[in-house]
Amino acid sequence: MTGSLIVINPNSSETVTQGIDAAVEPLRRFGVPIRCLTLAEGPPGIESQRQADLTIAPMLALAAAQADAAGFVIACFGDPGLHALRDQTALPVLGIQEAAVMTALTLGQRFGVIAILPGSIPRHLRAFGSMGVLDRLAGDRALGLGVGDLADPGKSLAAMIATGKRLRDADGADVLIMGCAGMAQYRATLEAETGLAVVEPCQAAAAMALGRIALGQSHRRVET
């Protein structure tokens, strides 16, 4: 029997985990069980590099305890512990930031990122620089909302649409990335309002992980 794709939310918000679970629901049709877990030791929301880094050790322990795992997704836009977990296991390991960018590059020429807070943007730029994709980045603009605010449509949807339009009109983005795991419920509306393809990062990473599982691909080098 095929194991499960384990999606780990490194913050402690069950509401965020429920949103992630709903986001990946369409991918369950492919037959691989997808289990979404909450890191109880994590902060309520990850809004700084320090908070992200402090989740790595307990997240590695949580991943190691999943006996039925066929692969992992780290569901935080910042990919904390991505390379550490790849060191720990030969199973497919995808980070939602990396997967979202790779997906966006197949949907448009210049991607724009909707961040949650201004303090998140330097972390994003460091990651995009290390990925070598800064020349494809149109812009990275913040909503000015915390992770907990994203579940409130009254606070977040209008700001998200306005930010998406600024990325489109002022920065020249032709594809948008939702820069947090808690935004999936707004994807369809954002696409309709901006006319652009919108990448929801948990969906992008889970889809990529399912492909790796099906093809038996690993980041570990095969010895010859």
pLDDT tens sequence across 190-210: 999 999 999 999 999 999 999
Q: Which CATH architecture has domain 98-202?
A: 3-Layer(aba) Sandwich (3.40)
* CATH architecture assignment, domain 4-95+205-215: 3-Layer(aba) Sandwich (3.40)
Q: Which residues pair with 94 in a beta bridge?
A: 73
Q: With a cut of 90, say whether residue 24 has pLDDT above it.
A: yes
pLDDT per residue over 122-175, tens digit each? 999 999 999 999 999 999 999 977 666 766 777 788 899 999 999 999 999 999
Return the pLDDT at 89.
97
Do 4-95+205-215 and 98-202 fold alike per CATH?
Answer: yes
Q: Quick one: average pLDDT of 32-37?
A: 98
Q: What is the pLDDT of residues 51-105, one digit of tens each?
A: 999 999 999 999 999 999 999 999 999 999 999 999 999 999 999 999 999 999 9
Domain positions in the chain are 4-95+205-215, 98-202
